[in-house]
Amino acid sequence: MGNKLLVVYMTLGYPNVEQFMEFITESARYADVFELGIPPKYAKYDGPVIRKSYDRVKGIQVWNILGETRKKVDIPIIALTYLDDWISQLDLFLDNLKGIGIDGVLFPDLLIDYVDDFEKYDKIIKSKGIKDVIFTSPSVPDNLIQKASKITDIFLYYGIRPTTGIPIPVSTRQLISRVRNLVQSRLIVGFGLSNELDLREALSSRADGVAIGTIFIEEIDKNGIKSALEVVKKIRGILDEY
C-alpha cells in the first residue's frame, strides 16, 4: 500500500447486517480506517444518499453490530454520529465505545453547532480514551483550522462540499491548498468526491488521503456488494499511484 489513506465510510448495518459484515471484512484489505455511520435523529450535514441509507437501517442493534465489526477487523474504526444525539449522555456513549474497542469518534456538528465549546468536548472525549477526529470545512477560518489540526486525532477531516454525495462544483485544488499549509496533522479530504478526476485532484493537491462513502452505497444499491467491493479496490489502486 502507498502512503495515502483510504477512509471507507459505511452506514452501520447497510444494506442489511449480513451484507454489511461482508462489505467490511472484505474491504478491510484495502481500507486504512473505517468510518461507520450510526443512524442519527437528524443527519443535518449528510446528503440524500446517506440519509436514505440511514432510513433503511433504522432500529438496528447499534452496539451489537459495532461490537461484531470490531471483532472482525483490525484497522481503526471511527464512529460517525452527531453530538446532538448524545450530548445528554455523552459519558455513557463514550464509555460504551471504549468498552467494545472502537477507536475514535467523529462529530460533524462539533465545530458547527458547538464551536464555542469544542475544546471542552474534545477534552471529555480524550479523557475517555477515545480518539477525537475533528471535522472541518472550507468555511472554517484559518485560525480555527490550525487549532483543530493541533488537537485532532488520527487525521483532520476536511469536507470540501456543503454536503455529502452531491457533486456541487467546487475548486478542489484551491480549497485544499488553502488549508494544506495550516494543517500539521494528516489531512483527509471528503464530501462529494464522486469521480476519478476529483479524487486525483485531491490527491495531487497534497491531501494525505480521502474519505469515500456515497459512491459505495450507490454501487451497493445498483449492483450489489461484490461490485461495491470492486470500487473500493479500484480506489485503493488510484491512491497507490500517489
Partner 1 sequence: MVKVDEILPKYWYNIIPDLPKPLPPPRDPQEAEFSRIDLLRRILPKEVLRQQFTIERYIKIPEEVRDRYISIGRPTPLFRAKRLEEMLDTPARIYFKFEGATPTGSHKINTAIPQAYFAKDEGIEHLVTETGAGQWGTAVALAASMYNMKSTIFMVKVSYEQKPMRRSIMQLYGANVYASPTNFTEYGRKILEANPNHPGSLGIAMSEAIEYALKNEFRYLVGSVLDVVILHQSIIGQETIAQLDMIGEEADLVIGCVGGGSNFGGFSYPFIGHKRASKYIAVGSAEIPKFSKGEYRYDFPDSAGLLPLVKMITLGKDYVPPPIYAGGLRYHGVAPTLSLLMKEGIVEWREYNEKEIFEAAKLFMQAQGIVPAPESAHAIKAVIDEALAAKKMKEKKVIVFNLSGHGLLDLSNYESMMKRWAKNGQ
- Cα→Cα distances 227→33, 107, 215, 220, Å: 20, 30, 11, 7
Q: Report yes or no: 11 and 217 within 8 Å, Cβ to Cβ.
A: yes
Closest distance of CB 140 from partner 1, Å: 4
Closest distance of CB 106 from partner 1, Å: 16
DSSP state of 47: -
Closest distance of CB 121 from partner 1, Å: 16
Nearer Cβ to partner 1 (127/195): 195
In angstroms, rounded to a whole number, what is the distance separating the alpha carbons of residues 90 and 111?
Answer: 17
Per DSSP, which regions of 42-186 are E strands? 77-80, 104-106, 131-136, 156-159
Q: What is the DSSP string of 179-235?
A: HHTT--S-EEEESS--SHHHHHHHHHTT-SEEEE-HHHHHHHHHH-HHHHHHHHHHH
In angstroms, rounded to a whole number, what is the distance separating the alpha carbons of residues 222 and 225?
Answer: 9
Interacting residues toward partner 1 by CB under 8 A: 41-42, 44-45, 47-48, 51, 111-113, 115, 137-142, 144, 161-163, 166-171, 174-175, 178
Catalytic residue check, 46? yes
Q: CA angle 110-31-56, nearest 5°?
A: 60
Catalytic residue check, 122? no
In angstroms, rounded to a whole number, what is the distance separating the alpha carbons of residues 242 and 239?
Answer: 6
Closest distance of CB 137 from partner 1, Å: 6
Residue from 26, 32, 46, 119 carrying the catalytic annotation: 46
Closest distance of CB 112 from partner 1, Å: 5
Nearer Cβ to partner 1 (94/145): 145
Residue from 35, 103, 122, 198 carrying the catalytic annotation: 35
Nearer Cβ to partner 1 (41/222): 41
| Cβ neighbours for 132, distance < 8 A, ≥ 6 positions apart | 104, 105, 121, 122, 125, 126, 151, 152, 153
Nearer Cβ to partner 1 (3/174): 174
Active site residues: 35, 46
